[in-house]
């Protein structure tokens, strides 16, 4: 069925497309409502030192508690939140909530160095003209030590407009917060640019860690990233460490930190408190942290 729109213009009425458009619209308004009614929650995934198995920090990962029985994962709503600009408000909420919670953990579980919190920043958020001021405001409001906050940006963000990116990263560094490149190796990054970015940490994407199961070629890829990082004096966190074999290989390759289901899935804050209480700061035996929680 075609609908006449005007002189010579037709739009094909497609019930599937119509469904999609309506679905998207209602998702957008539901997301706005969810923000107002505080239906978003944060789960946290431990980041572990491969040297001694101690938790050195956590990554905050947002979920939408749509109803009592429904927990919606970010792959279901981050893209729409990004397209509609809702991510700007959601992102600031995530940062504030994560910093507040981390301040409590730092007080309850003093560590040297102090526990860190990683927060994901979307491209749209990073591009806000007042992004740095927004971060500064949250730091002031929550009183968190800036050097215990790690903002995770993806390569696609960091490579978009190099000059602007370097400028923002420099200002963030001046605030004292750390910057990590997330999902490293999956974007269109030019390795040559990396050295000109003021950043502290690379997170090796879990697709590369998965390659470790394939033997020598997988090891070479991760090894190459490790060498690059060492030359640039950047810390490395491996994502998606799922098995003891991954952990052993990563250690052999000189990786210092990892995050993944082997240690713990992302869990509710109360579970993190339990893990931090159960595990002394250093020298603790290494192994899965949340066997019963995962
Ligand atoms: P990410 O930042 O790369 O986060 C890591 C994702 O990998 C998380 O998925 C985590 O649950 C998953 N993961 C961790 N360890 C393992 C493992 O061993 N194996 C496997 N297969 N997966 C593992 P999640 O929580 O579904 O988040 C997906 C993505 O959504 C995140 O990827 C991030 O890009 C985005 N995201 C999450 N929270 C936020 C947020 O607050 N703001 C923004 N802008 N993006 C967010
Ligand atoms: Mg991340
Ligand atoms: Mg990641
Ligand atoms: Mg990833």
Query: pLDDT tens digit string along 109-140?
Result: 999 999 999 999 999 999 999 999 999 999 99
- The residue with greater pLDDT, 247 or 25, is 247
For 82-119, the pLDDT digits (tens) are 999 999 999 999 999 999 999 999 999 999 999 999 99
How far is 252 from 167, CA to CA, in rounded Å?
Answer: 36
For 257-267, the pLDDT digits (tens) are 999 999 999 99
Judged against a pLDDT cut of 90, whether residue 287 lies above it is answered with no
For 164-178, the pLDDT digits (tens) are 889 999 999 999 999
How far is 286 from 110, CA to CA, in rounded Å?
Answer: 20
122 φ, ψ (degrees, to nearest 5): -85, 165
- Could you tell me if the CB of 183 is within 6 A of ligand 1? yes
How far is 218 from 222, CA to CA, in rounded Å?
Answer: 7
What residue's CA is closest to ligand 1, atom 19? Answer: 240
Which atom belonging to ligand 1 lies closest to the Cα atom of 154? 34
- Could you tell me if the CB of 180 is within 6 A of ligand 1? no
Return the ligand number nearest the Cα of 203.
3
- Could you tell me if the CB of 58 is within 6 A of ligand 1? no
CA terminus-to-terminus distance, the chain:
50
What residue's CA is closest to ligand 1, atom 14? Answer: 260
Where is average pLDDT lowest: 49-63, 97-111, 143-157, 271-285? 271-285
- Kindly provide the ipTM of the predicted complex, given to two decimals: 0.98
Contacts (Cβ under 8 Å, ≥6 apart) of 144: 99, 102, 103, 106, 117
Ligand 4 mean position, distance from CA 187 (Å): 11
What residue's CA is closest to ligand 1, atom 20? Answer: 240
With residue 102 as reference, give the H or E element that holds it.
helix 86-108
């Amino acid at each position: 069925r075609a609908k006449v729109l005007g002189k010579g213009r037709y739009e094909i009425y497609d019930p599937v497309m119509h469904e999609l458009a309506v679905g998207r619209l209602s998702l957008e308004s539901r997301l706005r409502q969810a923000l107002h009614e505080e239906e978003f929650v944060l789960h946290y995934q431990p980041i572990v030192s491969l040297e001694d198995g101690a938790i050195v920090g956590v990554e905050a990962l947002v979920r939408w508690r749509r109803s009592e029985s429904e927990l919606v994962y970010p792959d279901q709503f981050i893209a729409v939140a990004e397209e509609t600009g809702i991510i700007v408000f959601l992102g600031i909420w995530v940062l504030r909530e994560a910093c507040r919670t981390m301040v409590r953990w730092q007080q309850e579980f003093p560590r040297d160095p102090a526990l860190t919190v990683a927060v994901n920043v979307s491209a749209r958020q990073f591009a806000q003209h007042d992004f740095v001021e927004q971060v500064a405001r949250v730091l002031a409001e929550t009183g968190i030590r800036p050097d215990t906050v790690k903002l995770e940006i993806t390569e696609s963000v960091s490579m978009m407009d190099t000059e602007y990116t370097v400028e923002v990263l420099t200002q963030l560094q001046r605030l004292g917060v750390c910057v990590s490149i997330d999902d490293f190796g999956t974007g269109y990054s030019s390795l040559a640019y990396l050295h000109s970015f003021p950043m502290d940490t690379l997170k090796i994407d879990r697709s590369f860690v998965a390659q470790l199961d394939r033997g020598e070629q997988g090891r070479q890829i991760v090894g190459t990233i490790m060498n690059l990082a060492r030359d640039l004096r950047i810390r490395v966190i491996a994502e998606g460490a799922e098995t003891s074999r991954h952990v052993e290989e990563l250690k052999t390759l000189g990786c210092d930190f990892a995050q993944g289901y082997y240690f713990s899935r992302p869990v509710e804050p109360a579970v993190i408190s339990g893990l931090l209480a159960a595990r002394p700061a250093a020298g603790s035996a290494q192994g899965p942290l949340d066997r019963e929680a995962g």
